[in-house]
Structure 1
Amino acid sequence: MKIALFPDDYLPCSTLVHAKMFHELALELKRLGHKPVIITPSHCKQAKRLVIDQFDGVEVWRFRNPAMRGQGKLQRVISESLLSVNAYLALKGRKDIKSFDACVNYSPTIFFGPLMRWFKRHCGTYNYLVLRDMFPQWVIDEGLISARSPIAAYFRFFEKVNYNASDSIGLMSPANVKYFSELHPNYRNLQVLRNWADVSPKSFSSSLIDIRKQCQLDDKVIYFYGGNIGHAQDMGNLLRLVETMQVHPEAHFLFIGQGDEFELVEKTKASKGLDNLTLLPSISQEAYKEVLTQVDVGLFSLAKTHKAHNFPGKLLGYMVQSLPILGSVNQGNDVIEFINGEGAGKAYINGEDQSLYEAALMLLQDQYSRKTMGVKAHEVLTTSFSVEAAASQIIDTIEKANQ
């Protein structure tokens, strides 16, 4: 089958987890004998409406679209709103556009919905939606916008278009399927599609970046957070842990990423004198992989007000490198039971600061437990979160529908 994949960001420039996930999915689909094509926005000035190139053996179609991230919230809404329009203008004249059999769309963003509807009507594609976050519900839950505001109605419209254009919707956990059904009871085309990763670990490397040498952390146990530093992650949750751990000089926290709470972390570090925290902006995916070979514990966090039960994609990167996982999330999130039950680390409800601190201290002082939990994390990844399993599930779903 010829399959179009629609991440809203892609390699080699993107540092986002889903960009890496979709590249791994494309490689696996290609290995299975299919023809994947990545269709993604340029995020930069591009003379032509459409530029076709190759990345790591994968065909990539980049359509011209303004940058979305790091431009402010209003500009991001405008840029994302243009995704389907600009993609349509770039693709409509291609003679081979009707050769696609299926589309795999990633959300968020919600704004590929009109394009998916066009593909379905114009090309007869089967559309599979990989739904990782229920936008705009989470920003309403966080109080960032009012449920009755015009902007919420605008987002809801595109959200509905996105769902209606999808033949199947894959959510990351059983709890998320249940929550989605409560919010949108009319949809029955739901299934659990777990996050995925290439399970092959990277050997220790420091050719691109040596974080211990660069930040003078040679003798430290490094607690690492990598990825989106945003409101949904509630970085204040992790900053409280950083502050509490100041009394243990052998522990150091390293945050690398981008997002709308980067400045908050920067200011808190300065105002509270958090010398046990190093904050760095995003780095390339290859450098990020190297950092994962050099650190000791993988951190994660989700805001306590979150209603969706997300399994943060960054956990997969930690698990690939056999890092024990430490963090806290919203109540009811089945990631807590999953991590604790599998012995892959320690997870708590956001706000259980004392328990989180005690677990961090245990991982600092007990090297055996640190290593054992890391090994378990990789075992769980191999059995439950392989890209092979995800690709096979998507293909099976499409093929059964076409029988």
Structure 2
Amino acid sequence: MNVLFLTMARIGSLDDRGVYTDLLRKFFEEGHNVYVVTPMERRENKKTNIIKEKGGVILNIQTLNIQKTNIIEKGIGTLAIEYQFLRGIKKYLSDVEFDLITYSTPPITFSKVISYIKNRDNAYSYLMLKDIFPQNAIDMKMLKEGSLLHKFFLKKERKLYEVSDAIGCMSEANKIFLLTHNPNIALKKVEVNPNSISPLELFQAKEENNIIKKKYGLPLNKKIFVYGGNLGKPQGVDFLLETITATKRKDVFFLVIGSGTEYNRIKKWFETQQPKNAMMMKGLPKDDYEFLLRACDVGMLFLHRDFTIPNFPSRLLSYLEIKLPVLAATDPNTDVGSVIEKAKCGYWILSGDQKEMQNAINKFCDDEENYLQMKENAWKLLVTEFHVDRSYQLIKKRLENV
């Protein structure tokens, strides 16, 4: 079977680890031919090219800058990418007949590419719904509800759902939200197909952890609560800063690692406030980041309290894989907190509730036996609910039933 994957994410190699590459490797391991179309932003100064690897073929499409750039270039780039992908596929993959075309959101602007492949090859189309746009932009007040731009994107969103033979949602709350707000979508074409990876259990001795802590200037005798990932408006980072200020325990230390639109503002806050119980670091190379993460004690998730859409951060899987208990501070609509608490591998609180945040921090620190059990529960949750085999089997079953 020939599998085509369209993504806005930059995929440099199919050997990389992640929710998309792990799934694509699973397809390859099961005997399928894998083709990936991924953007190569103009800042890389490279032209459209095709790379053949052991695990498949990567078509790098030259695009405008669509990540970490000004809103005008990002907007134009996002609208143009559909035509750039279509042109690249016609030029470089014209001799390949695809059986399956799968893709993720963002963006919602791939419907013409999907329709072309479906009509040309009679391919089956599977949407992995990772983001519900444009509602997320409305929630964050990045888009005015009812505006011409909002209506334009709504039309694009509906077209994407229409052209998809199946839609895999990240969680049950995602599925309910999608069907509630899009009653025209047939129930039978929607399922829960969560973020998933190929888990790799790694052990890092206490001595190694201490070496890493010394390298980065972290305390050796405190419980380190780490937030790693995007630092943007959707994360509601103000509550993270409020938590640092409000936490008076001497045995707790916060580590903030990442980049994003709010990075400079947070960095300025650290420079001004100079908190004694926290440190901020710029995003690290992947290997260095993972070693540092394994030296920490609790992983933190933050989502803005104004979200009406049920986000489900893939960052959760990074924490679970290294057996980090999780503290999630989110809006009331996502079910990531209930998943964590049901699995007994962490605690959930409503973003903005500082009293409950402090209660949760105390629980992590005051009951070591429970904390150690949460570490084991974190791994158990990952391998039972978020293993790549599950995602692969769900897609495979859809194809078998066509």
Label 1:226 to 1:94 Cα distance change in 2 as closer, same or farther (>3 A).
same
Provide the residue aligned with 1:126 in structure 2.
124
Q: Counterpart of 1:308 in 2: which secondary structure?
A: coil
Q: Counterpart of 1:275 in 2: which secondary structure?
A: coil
Q: Deviations over 1:218-254 (max 9, x none)?
A: 3332111112211111111222111112x22332212
Label 1:125 to 1:281 Cα distance change in 2 as closer, same or farther (>3 A).
farther
Provide the residue aligned with 1:52 in structure 2.
51
Amino acid of the structure 2 residue aligned with 1:335: V
Q: Which of 146-155 and 209-218 deviates more? A: 209-218
Amino acid of the structure 2 residue aligned with 1:240: E
Q: Counterpart of 1:138 in 2: which secondary structure?
A: helix
User: Alignment length, in residue pairs?
Assistant: 395
Provide the residue aligned with 1:353 in structure 2.
354
Q: TM-score, normalised on structure 1? A: 0.91
User: How many angstroms apart in 1 are the aligned matches of 2:258 and 2:103?
Assistant: 24
8 Å Cα contact 2:34-2:55 kept in structure 1: no
Alignment of 1:25-40 (within 5 A): 25-40=23-38
8 Å Cα contact 2:227-2:257 kept in structure 1: yes
Provide the residue aligned with 2:4 in structure 1.
4
8 Å Cα contact 1:11-1:20 kept in structure 2: no
Provide the residue aligned with 2:259 in structure 1.
258
Amino acid of the structure 2 residue aligned with 1:258: S
> Shift in Å at residue 156 of structure 1?
2.0
Q: Counterpart of 1:191 in 2: which secondary structure?
A: strand
User: How many angstroms apart in 2 are the aligned matches of 1:95 and 1:6?
Assistant: 13
Q: Deviations over 1:76-111 (max 9, x none)?
A: 122221211111221212364442111110101222
Label 1:73 to 1:280 Cα distance change in 2 as closer, same or farther (>3 A).
farther
8 Å Cα contact 2:48-2:59 kept in structure 1: no
> Shift in Å at residue 336 of structure 1?
2.2
Amino acid of the structure 2 residue aligned with 1:38: V
Label 1:390 to 1:95 Cα distance change in 2 as closer, same or farther (>3 A).
closer
Label 1:215 to 1:255 Cα distance change in 2 as closer, same or farther (>3 A).
same
Q: Deviations over 1:334-360 (max 9, x none)?
A: 222221121110012222221111111
User: How many angstroms apart in 2 are the aligned matches of 1:47 and 1:324?
Assistant: 42
> Shift in Å at residue 116 of structure 1?
1.5
Of the three residues 13, 18, 21, the one matched with 2:19 is 21
User: How many angstroms apart in 2 are the aligned matches of 1:106 and 1:211?
Assistant: 37
Provide the residue aligned with 2:178 in structure 1.
180
1:240 partnered with 2:242: yes
Provide the residue aligned with 2:233 in structure 1.
231
> Shift in Å at residue 267 of structure 1?
2.6
> Shift in Å at residue 7 of structure 1?
2.3
Structure 1: 5+ residue stretches without partners: none
Amino acid of the structure 1 residue aligned with 2:196: W
Amino acid of the structure 1 residue aligned with 2:2: K
Q: Deviations over 1:257-296 (max 9, x none)?
A: 2222222322322333323222222223333322222111
Structure 2: 5+ residue stretches without partners: none
Of the three residues 47, 55, 62, the one matched with 1:64 is 62
8 Å Cα contact 1:114-1:161 kept in structure 2: no
Label 1:178 to 1:110 Cα distance change in 2 as closer, same or farther (>3 A).
same
User: How many angstroms apart in 2 are the aligned matches of 1:220 and 1:383?
Assistant: 31
1:272 partnered with 2:270: no
Provide the residue aligned with 2:115 in structure 1.
117
Q: Deviations over 1:31-83 (max 9, x none)?
A: 112122221011244543233243x7443221111221111222212222121
Provide the residue aligned with 1:139 in structure 2.
137
Q: TM-score, normalised on structure 2? A: 0.91
Q: Counterpart of 2:359 in 1: which secondary structure?
A: helix
Label 1:243 to 1:170 Cα distance change in 2 as closer, same or farther (>3 A).
same
Q: Deviations over 1:133-154 (max 9, x none)?
A: 2111011122222112222123
User: How many angstroms apart in 2 are the aligned matches of 1:11 and 1:370?
Assistant: 36
> Shift in Å at residue 211 of structure 1?
5.0
User: How many angstroms apart in 2 are the aligned matches of 1:32 and 1:215?
Assistant: 45
Label 1:95 to 1:251 Cα distance change in 2 as closer, same or farther (>3 A).
closer
8 Å Cα contact 1:91-1:97 kept in structure 2: no
Of the three residues 207, 214, 217, the one matched with 1:215 is 217
User: How many angstroms apart in 1 are the aligned matches of 2:360 and 2:115?
Assistant: 48
User: How many angstroms apart in 2 are the aligned matches of 1:46 and 1:91?
Assistant: 20
Alignment of 1:196-207 (within 5 A): 196-204=196-204
8 Å Cα contact 1:199-1:320 kept in structure 2: yes
